[in-house]
Amino acid sequence: DALQHVSTGKDTELHFVGAVGDCGDIFDLFAEYLGTSIFLHGLRKRPEVVRAMQDADILVNISNQSMHQLPSKVVEYVWTGKPLLNLTTVAKDTTSEFLAAYPGLLSLVVSDGKPTNLDVAALRDFVATPPATVPVEARKQWLAAYEIDAIAGQYDALMAVDRPVGCTAATGE
Q: How far apart are CA 38 and CA 85, in angstroms?
A: 16
Residue 173: count other Cβ atoms within 10 Å of its Cβ.
3
Residue 131: count other Cβ atoms within 10 Å of its Cβ.
15
Q: What pLDDT sits at residue 154? A: 86
Q: What pLDDT sits at residue 9? A: 56
User: Which residues of the chain have a pLDDT value below 50?
Assistant: 173
Q: What pLDDT sits at residue 50? A: 93
Q: 0.85 cut: is pTM over it?
A: no
Nearest residue to 105 via CA among 124, 79, 131: 131
